[in-house]
Amino acid sequence: MSDLRDLYQEVIIDHGRRPRNFGPLAQASHRAEGVNPLCGDRLTLYLKIADGVIADARFEGIGCAISTASASLMTEALKGKTTAEADAMFAGFHALVTGVAAPAAASLGKLEVLGGVREFPARVKCASLPWHTLQAALHDASKAVSTEEIA
């Protein structure tokens, strides 16, 4: 188990230090901003959606290693997914980090490395921020989200 835990930590540290898909997306069709005041994480998420498929996803902003790694892993996982699949991934991720089972949780693959934050409630908000921002981008592009307004 401890080997697995080390591996998970390595993935998070790697993505926290060298985030993938970091920077603006000029042709974005959707965008949203998210902020987690408790930690100081803030990010802007950009999506390029064509025919219901997420063709590209990028983000920029400042945040702790957990929020940065979560955004990095999320943007990697989103590419090529339909918006419905992205919604299912959100449900699955929410279940993963809160420990509350979702009825139809999607397979999360590499994102499961973030499941360890479940033991640290303050860190759950860091890990969830990119996903709540994704929801805003997908469903209400004009809205900025804050983890402090989310039940």
| Position 39 contacts Zn ion (CB under 5 A) | yes
Instruction: Write out the H or E segment, with its range, that includes residue 46.
Output: strand 41-50
When binding is defined by CB under 5 A, the residue of 55, 64, 102, 144 that contacts Zn ion is 64
Binding mask 79-118 toward Zn ion (x if CB under 5 A, else -) reads ----------------------------------------
When binding is defined by CB under 5 A, the residue of 35, 71, 126, 138 that contacts Zn ion is 126
Are the CB atoms for 32 and 145 separated by under 8 Å?
Answer: yes
| Position 43 contacts Zn ion (CB under 5 A) | no
What is the nearest approach in angstroms of Zn ion to the Cβ of residue 65?
Answer: 8
Are the CB atoms for 91 and 42 separated by under 8 Å?
Answer: no
Closest CA to 42 of 59, 19, 25, 20: 59
| Position 32 contacts Zn ion (CB under 5 A) | no
Residue type, 75: T
Toward Zn ion, which CB reaches closer, 41 or 56? 41
User: How far apart (Å, rounded) are the C-alpha atoms in residues 40 and 19?
Assistant: 18
When binding is defined by CB under 5 A, the residue of 67, 133, 135, 147 that contacts Zn ion is 67
What is the nearest approach in angstroms of Zn ion to the Cβ of residue 36?
Answer: 6
- Number of DSSP helices (H) and strands (E) in the chain, helices first: 4, 4
Q: List, in sequence order, every residue forming a beta bridge with 50; answer none if it has no partner.
A: 53
Q: Which residues bind Zn ion (CB under 5 A)?
A: 39, 41, 64, 67, 126
